[in-house]
Amino acid sequence: MKEIILKGIPASSGVTEGPAFILDKQDFIIPPRAVMEKEVPIEIARFEEALIRTREEILEIQKRISTQMTKQQVKIFDAHLLVLEDQMLIDEVILRIRNEQLSAEYIFSEVLRKYIKMFSAIEDEYLRERVGDINDVGRRILKNLMDESKLHELENLTEDLIIVSHDLSPSDTASMYNKNIKAFVTDVGGRTSHTAIMAKSLGVPAVVGLKDATLQIQNQDYLIVDGRSGLIIIHPTEETKISYRNLQNQIIRFQGQFEEIKDLPAETKDGKSMVLSANIELPEEIPSILNQKADGIGLFRSEYFYMNRIDLPSEGEQFNVYRKVVEAVAPNKVTIRTLDLGGDKFISSLEIPRDMHPFLGWRAIRFCLARPDIFKVQLRAILRASVFGKIKLMYPMITGSSDFQQANNILKEVKTSLRDEGIPFDESLSVGAMIEVPSAAITADMLAKQADFFSIGTNDLIQYTLAVDRLNEQADCVYEPGHPAILRLIKQTVEAAHKENIPVSLCGEMSSDPVLALILLGLDLDELSMSSGSILQIKKLIRSVHFKDAQKLAGEVLRLSTGEEVEELSRRRLLELAPEILNEEGEK
């Protein structure tokens, strides 16, 4: 077959090859197909058979997971079975097949769309949530009607596969940890989407924003994924395969040069030290963090613990997870970000309105302040775990002093409650603010008088400052981490923190990019936190340069007018100061 090359957005570097696994989250595209009158009974029989097969599948899944989940979690499939027994839906499909003489799959897809639209318009939040049940069962029925194999169960993944999907939700990617995933390929998304972040955590390549990859790639198509250049090659020729295998070997050799400095400190040639920490989503990432000799965890995204379940995690469950993580990395610290729900991360068990602009709505600390019942459970678990190691606590999406003070008032209530119960916790627990909203950066001098530390979340800071949705592939060209406005906000935040003698870290994707990390070093940050796979390369960078040279570069780029100019100057300077940090093609 002819070799096809698709161009997308490079989201996680690396090169791999293997068969495609279509994780189809889109609606089935079903054109109308007319049938003869004598074929109508056959179409009705096909529809009824599809209902029976779907029921058998759901019962089998329910039986299989009954030993692994609670009764409440297993009961979620009861709702799916009820959809299959909805006589009104079944009768409408059969009647329309008879009257319109069109294929069963087309008629059913039309009726399904009607039901989904009807339920979506219902004011009752609980009933609106049933749309998911109807959609899931509907897709299974369509799969059986069309003899399609696009609807797969993630728990059945056993082969080494390249995941291809229209999009991947945080709950999707969280459930893929410890699966045999070689790469991610999606139609939508940007460089800092959840897909890109999880790919870096897994240490696999990812290309996003391909627009129509799911239409051009079929199940089991052989692919090459080039996460450095954002290329997908479908049906690669033998010549192309050999070329990329040679490139893979070069990348392995390139990365191997960093192993020798694994046990050495991140310190510049003139003695400036930097803390290099890891970002994690799941406790399963701990072995990788320990292997890379990270200086602890600079960002523990706790909301992933709430996903892929129909209930909320209890205090005891959360305590056990936090304790496990803290003890695993001791004596190094663990910085836990409190629940950052909203934006692209939703939990079905909570009644959260779907905003038209979710990143600007009811999310993160706003949600926690509005739902102190949920917030207090998490705070209790974190405080209880703090006696088993060094924990730092930070609040996400702080917009100013008022947010921070309100959150701290709730924390004080929780501490008082624990003291009254005689439950120990670290009385000197450090509490920090995430600087990821322009208003927080601009008022950093005020916040620095209240917080014990700052953590700059550049993924959102860039999004909010430049008015660009970081998940939108159409806007990727204007998502500029090196934009002078971003660098000035970082500089202002660092200066405000140091004036009050509090440390400041940076935990966005900027920290793992050596071209930008050289500037961040010059801006005098105390800590960089990143995916564990990037730590050794950034450590090598820090050990290869003088702090005074990084400071000089930071001063120069702050006078430039565009992000493109900033990155170009920094790349040139990096090639002069430490050419070994970039590979032979200048790729990061």
Burial of residue 271 (CB within 10 Å: 0-12, 13-18, 19+) is: exposed
The CA–CA distances, whole Å, from 562 to 188, 423, 484, 491 equal 26, 53, 6, 17
For residues 227 and 207, give the distance between their C-alpha atoms in angstroms, rounded to a whole number: 6
Give helix then strand counts, H and E, for the chain: 24, 16
585: nearest Cα among 226, 69, 199: 226
For residues 379 and 372, give the distance between their C-alpha atoms in angstroms, rounded to a whole number: 10
Q: Residue 8 is which amino acid?
A: G
Sign of the dihedral through C-alpha 79, 108, 168, 125: negative
Q: What region, left, alpha or beta, does residue 3 occupy, with left being phi > 0 and alpha being psi -120 to 50 degrees?
A: beta
For the chain, how are helix, strand and coil distributed in percent, rounded to 5? 50, 15, 35
- H or E segment to which residue 280 belongs: strand 275-280
3-state secondary structure 480-501: CCCCHHHHHHHHHHHHHHHHCC
- H or E segment to which residue 447 belongs: helix 444-447
For residues 228 and 216, give the distance between their C-alpha atoms in angstroms, rounded to a whole number: 21
Residues near 139 by Cβ (< 8 Å), separated by ≥ 6?
28, 151
| Residues annotated catalytic, as ranges | 194, 507
For residues 282 and 305, give the distance between their C-alpha atoms in angstroms, rounded to a whole number: 7
Q: Quick count: other Cβ atoms within 10 Å of Cβ 525?
A: 25
Report the residue count for the chain.
588
Q: Residue 9 is which amino acid?
A: I
The pairing of beta strand 181-186 with beta strand 161-165: parallel
361: nearest Cα among 374, 345, 381, 348: 345
Q: Residue 318 is which amino acid?
A: Q
- H or E segment to which residue 79 belongs: helix 76-84
The pairing of beta strand 222-226 with beta strand 231-234: antiparallel
For residues 165 and 152, give the distance between their C-alpha atoms in angstroms, rounded to a whole number: 12
Q: For residues 109 and 59, is the Cβ–Cβ distance under 8 A?
A: no
Q: For residues 352 and 367, is the Cβ–Cβ distance under 8 A?
A: yes
